[in-house]
Structure 1
Amino acid sequence: MQALLKNLGTILLSLILAILVWIAAVREQNPPRESDYSQTIPIEINPPGPGLILADTLPETVRLRLRAPESSWVELSPSKFRADVDLSELTAGFSDVPIDVVVSDPAVEIVRQVPQAVTVNLQVEQTITVPVKIEVLDDPPLGYIARPPQLVPEVISVTGPASRMGQVDEAVSQISIQNAKETIARTAPVLIRDRNDQLIAGLSVEPSQVQITVPIEQRFGYKDVAVSAVVVGQAAPGYWVSNIAVAPPRVTIVGNPTVIGSIPGFIETIPFNVDQATADIVQTVPLDLPNGVTVVVPEGNGTGAGGVQVTVEVSAIESGQTIQLPITQQGIDPAYSWSASPARADVILSGPIPRLQALRTGDVQVIVDLFGLVPGTYNVQPVVFSPDDLRLEAILPDTIEVTIV
């Protein structure tokens, strides 16, 4: 026992040295590293007590500089941190509140955080009711009238800090009726403005949207009608009228209510002649209107007063044609001769009849490529060269036996 007590100091010193050696070995294998953490940590706000509200926005995240072993850096994620700002015990006014950041890994040390605190402006929370004003933007088309708009609900609640609530002058919701020819019903957001017509941010609006209905009616003596183009004549042989388009497709007419009431749901153009046409025709064509009836022309738009634009698309009638052509070659060595079996091939083309009828010798060729081939017998796929406006449907046969000697 005396020997143990006599050597106790030596034993303790040895133990301490062993621990230090172990710590040094661990640090060498898993050295600590200090660095800025690449991800930001979201700040959670513990809200103020009843009757108080934040008047200004607070930072949403905090940045950290950390010191930790390499193994901890590998495992780090934002979920291991928690950043809190506690407003529950504050009173109205300005206060500097620390941002409390904790980390679940005890090996991680927070060296620095930015920001460390936030300045909080708490104010008394107020709620008022405000009638909603409707702003109808634009006007309906000529020949239509907008009746007074209807609103649901007519009054909304606005909540916010006292300093901002004192700026509230009106609640506004907007709706556009441009080009509207029938009643419009839409949901629109509510905007809160001050006396200078500037929007006020940071307020809670309930409900945040309202339903607006604007009745749109046609004026007496006006009528919307479709436009029907009257096309006469026949396209040239080999062509046909593939489409007829009218712009605008509908017009508004005005006149004696009795005459207007007798007009069906469409109005015709005067006859438009397409006789012997071989290409598209675009032309302004007058409307065949009864006496005393005119077309309402929107401001800044001349279309309609002198007629409508009629586009008649004229397309060639398509067909097919089979041509028997000799096989020609390209690329053979001049020292060799060649022969093809069969010597001719049937080429089937399709396209507009006038184009097929206009084909000339040399417009279509069947060629086999013999470049680099030595004497022997080969099966070669021929290539057909034809005009771009014709389609190659088939070549028969699709391979040619070529003999080179």
Structure 2
Amino acid sequence: MTSIFKRLVKNLPTFLTALLLAITIWIMAVNSNDPGDKRTFPQGIPVEVIGQNEDLVITNEMPSQVTVSLSSPVSMWETLTDSPELIRAYIDLGGLQEGSHELKVQVEVDARPVKVETIAPSEIQVTLEPLYSKYFEIQLIQPSQPAVGYELGNPEMNQTHATVSGPASRMADVVEVRAILDVSQANQDIDRDITLAAYDTNGVVVEGVTIEPAQVHVSMPITQRGGYRTVIVKAVLTGQVASGYRLTNYSVSPLTVTVYSADQQIVNDLPGYVETQPLNITGADKDITESLPLNLPAGVSVVGESTIKIALTVSAIQGSITINNSTIELVGLNPEYMVTISPETVDVILSGPLPTLDDLNVGDVRVILDLSELAPGTYQLNPRVELDIPDLLVESILPETVEVVISIPPTATPGN
């Protein structure tokens, strides 16, 4: 037994040398097949904050991401880029008190073998301040007025107080929490959520604090005063547009008006609308825009602007026409050739406004067949229509294709 032990001790240096040589050869073989590669990771790594005292708050701006360079076998880079969550960057605020601190960014990679080469920025400055909270009554501010003839009821809020939290330097400026309720031109009950904001003594919003709850729900009735009523505006048109035209649309602005009378019964007896003075559209063949007064009962007046703007859209009625047996004009034929076409005429179908179609002359439409650069032979060609009237559209040509035979004229025989 002793001799075996002595033999092992004697051969131990040789064994260790052989093992080290084997490991070296293995590493060299691995590196030759999958060499290491140093790269900058293509994405920024989000910086986590850990260990922060819940009674302290960060008050300075700090980078949200860092850029890292890594060394890793080529085969590992695909895994890293496909799974960036394997790389974690953080700063540890554990044990820190209020004040400014310069902290090193720590980067961990949940993959092997990967080495972190560089981190940029490698350090982040953090300023900590005590976190304070204060309880405020919510002030409901109404900087505007409802529509004329309407009055506001008593508002109700689902919360009357809010807690404001933030760093000491910001909280020292907060004197009030406001909910701004805009009721401008309102004529219906209000039922909405309003975001709260903290204000200083100058009425300026204090940033960098949180408010709980962040919103308050406000309900407020809005009623119409006696003698006032909101009614629809109805345009009165007389006459007919020109023959071949039609009235396609009209708009009235404003759509409703508020009227008032000292005698509330007169207002209550209105049918729900008031009419404009008549607008005569006889013979109209284009759009019309007019401003007209309202035709109001005696004792009734309009609150605000009493002139109504009316916009009418007058469009030509669309139709179609067929021009039969239009002769095909040939252009571009080599003068040394002769040509025959079949058929020699086509029918052209046009569409457009009826008044334009009624004024159309046959000479306004030309059917052209371009034979430029064509050699002798037989062709199937599509003629085109030339029309200098922009409102008209060529719907089709019948037939769409004609046969064209181009040939060389026979040489004249002497004596014939």
Write out per-residue CA displacement over residues 242-268 of structure 1, whole angstroms, 9 at most, x where no aligned residue. 333222222222223232222221111
The match for 2:318 is 318
Counterpart for residue 280 of structure 2: 273
**Structure 2 vs 1, CA of residues 67 and 223 (structure 1 numbering), >3 Å: closer, same or farther?**
same
Amino acid paired to 1:275: T
> Partners of 1:259 and 1:378 in 2: how far apart?
83
Shift in Å at residue 8 of structure 1?
Answer: 8.9
Contact 2:323 2:362 in 1 (8 A): no
Residues 332 and 370 of structure 2 are in contact (CA less than 8 Å); yes or no, is this contact kept in structure 1?
yes
Q: Which shows bigger deviation, 370-379 or 279-288?
A: 370-379
1:317 Cα deviation after fit: 2.7
Structure 1 residue 399: Cα displacement: 2.2
Q: Which residue of 2 aligns with 1:136?
A: 142
2:270 maps to 263
Provide closer, same or farther for how the CA distance between residues 79 and 242 of structure 1 changes in structure 2, counting only shifts above 3 A.
closer
Instruction: Report the equivalent of 2:370.
Output: 369
For residue 192 of structure 2, what is the amino acid of its counterpart? Answer: R
Match of 2:394 in 1: 392
CA, structure 1 residues 47+203, in 2 after alignment: closer, same or farther (shift >3 Å)? farther
Distance verdict in 2 for CA 1:122–1:310, change over 3 Å: closer
**Aligned position for 1:145:** 151
- Count of matched residue pairs: 397
**Alignment partner, residue 353 of structure 1:** 354
Q: Quote the Cα distance in structure 2 between the aligned partners of 1:262 and 1:83.
A: 75
- Whether the 8 Å CA contact 2:59–2:167 is kept in 1: the answer is no
Instruction: Confirm or deny: 8 A CA contact 2:239 2:280 kept in the other structure.
Output: yes
Q: Which amino acid aligns with 1:239?
A: Y
Which whole-Å deviations, capped at 9, do the CAs of 1:121-154 have from their partners, x for residues lacking one? 4454433322112222433233333334332212
Cα distance in 1, alignment partners of residues 188 and 208 from structure 2: 37
* Paired letter, 1:404: I
Find the counterpart in structure 2 of residue 292 from structure 1: 299
> What is the CA distance between 1:222 and its match in structure 2?
2.0
Cα separation, 1, equivalents of 2:8 and 2:319: 117
Residue 55 of structure 2 is matched in structure 1 by 52
Counterparts of 2:12 and 2:56 in 1: how far apart (Å)?
66
**Could you list the per-position Cα deviations for residues 177-214 of structure 1 after superposition, in whole angstroms to 9, with x for gaps in the alignment?**
23322122221211122323333333332221111234
Q: Aligned partners of 1:8 and 1:100: how far apart in 2?
A: 42
1:63-104, Cα deviation, whole Å (9 max, x unpaired): 334445555555544433333333344455555544333334
Give the structure-1-normalised TM-score: 0.83
1:246 aligns with 2:252: yes
Looking at structure 1, the residues matched to 8 and 353 of structure 2 have their Cα atoms a distance apart, in angstroms, of 117
Q: CA 1:344/1:146 → structure 2, altered by over 3 Å: closer, same or farther?
A: same
For residues 4 and 381 of structure 1, do their structure 2 counterparts lie closer, same or farther at Cα, with a shift above 3 Å needed?
A: same
Deviation for aligned residue 1:349 = 2.1
Residues 1:83 and 2:89 are matched in the alignment: yes
Residue 224 (structure 1) aligns with: 230
Shift of residue 119, structure 1, vs aligned partner: 4.6
Which SS does the other structure have where 1:258 is aligned?
A: helix
SS in structure 2 at match of 1:153: coil
Unaligned runs of 5+ in 2: 408-416
Distance, in Å, in 1 between the alignment partners of 2:246 and 2:75 is 80
In 2, Cα distance between the equivalents of 1:344 and 1:35? 76
Q: 1:333 to 1:87 in 2, by over 3 A?
A: same
For 1:130 and 1:3, the matched residues in 2 are separated by: 87
Inter-partner Cα distance in structure 1 for 2:356 and 2:175 = 75
Q: Which residue of 2 aligns with 1:127?
A: 133
TM-score (norm 2): 0.81
CA distance in 2, matches of 1:399, 1:95: 86
Hey, what does 2:68 align to over in structure 1? 64
Give the match for residue 300 of structure 1. Answer: none
CA contact (8 A) 1:244 1:313 kept: yes
Check conservation: 1:41, 1:63, Cα contact below 8 A: yes
Cα root mean square deviation, aligned = 3.3
